[in-house]
Amino acid sequence: MKTSRRQFLKLTAAASALPFASMAASAPAVNKPIVISTWNFGKQANEEAWKILSAGGKALDAVEAGARVPEGDPKETSVGLGGLPDSDGRVTLDACIMDEQGNIGSVACLEHIVHPVSVARKVMEKTPHVMLVGEGALQFALANGFKKEKLLTKESEKAWKKWLKEKKYKPVANIENHDTIGIVALDAQGNLSGACTTSGMAYKMRGRVGDSPIIGAGLYVDNEVGAATSTGVGEEVIRIVGCHLVVELMRQGNSPEQACKMAVERIIRKNPDKAKTLQVGFLALSKSGEYGAYCLQKGFTYAVHDSAMNKLFDASSIY
């Protein structure tokens, strides 16, 4: 069952109205470990991440493990294996990862590899660079032991052939058509990391790259402040460098939900007409384990797993 964030806050506020004597006088408690991620499939991703976090593991390992869940699921048509292709029928993947020290790795327009998030991690750990694209990213993946596989499933191929009849590119991003997994976590040591992975907008132009592999746009982590990730029409997120903006707004004292809302409002200010029909959602986690989300259109869900719960929430929306 989904609970709205507002309902949940009411419930937890009531539960925490404890007698004065039992309240701790020391610094506010940090809610850790915790992992949050985008959309319904975030729940399974969080469960995988939680295995690592609950055993005292690192947020970096947890977000990678979580992101790999939808990547490897052929029924998820928006991430990794089974992702809907570009207009030429090619499945091209974008992913990135960022750790608590500000280390980053990213791949864009990568074909034939089921787990781009793990290739991104290898870029981070094994190269002097932060981003590899296309053929070069594939070459690097193969040289590092990743297998070349066919990512276009029968179902995705069928959907693409149907699309070819009209060939209209209409980026309607929401739960029923195209999603990205963004996942951010705070581990027991109090360190933050994040990952983001997608097959991008369905039927995009060949070579198109969205926000998801772009550090600062689709993902940002600052271990002093918090972490954020995004989903929806990447072009609009890139335009405002969305996730970096969300983290900076948290640095200024805004709550995660407030910071996400302010970033969504920035998108509207830049492009009021377009914003009425497209979807963008932000999800953020603070250094103290507080989380929140906000989106343009109703329909963006996100999953939260900490020691008290494993739940899906509906993000508040502007429209």
Q: Which residue ranges make up the site for ligand SD4 (CB under 6 A)? A: 173, 178-180, 198, 200-201, 210-212, 231-234
Q: Write down the catalytic residue from 77, 92, 180, 301.
A: 180
Catalytic: 180? yes
Burial letters 72-81, b for 16+ CB under 10 A, else e: ebeebbbbbb
As measured in angstroms, the least distance from the Cβ of 26 to ligand SD4 is: 40
d(CA 300, CA 83) in angstroms, rounded, equals: 19
As measured in angstroms, the least distance from the Cβ of 211 to ligand SD4 is: 5
For ligand SD4, which is the closer residue by CB, 212 or 297? Answer: 212
For ligand SD4, which is the closer residue by CB, 92 or 316? Answer: 92
For ligand SD4, which is the closer residue by CB, 47 or 235? Answer: 235
Question: What contacts 112, CB < 8 A, 6 or more positions away?
Answer: 138, 148, 149, 150, 151
DSSP letters along the chain, please?
A: --EEHHHHHHHHHHHT---GGGS--SSPPP--SEEEEESTTHHHHHHHHHHHHTTT--HHHHHHHHHHHHHT-TT-TTSSTT----TTS---EEEEEE-TT--EEEEEEE-S-S-HHHHHHHHHHHSS-SEEEHHHHHHHHHHTTPPP-----HHHHHHHHHHHHH-------STTT---EEEEEE-TTS-EEEEEEE--STTPPTT---STTSBTTTEEEETTTEEEEEEE-HHHHHHTTHHHHHHHHHHTT--HHHHHHHHHHHHHHH-HHHHTT--EEEEEEETTS-EEEEESSTT-EEEEEESS-EEEEEPEE--
As measured in angstroms, the least distance from the Cβ of 258 to ligand SD4 is: 22
d(CA 27, CA 19) in angstroms, rounded, equals: 18
For ligand SD4, which is the closer residue by CB, 177 or 288? Answer: 177
Contact between 41 and 70 (Cβ < 8 Å): yes
For ligand SD4, which is the closer residue by CB, 43 or 178? Answer: 178
Residues labelled catalytic: 180
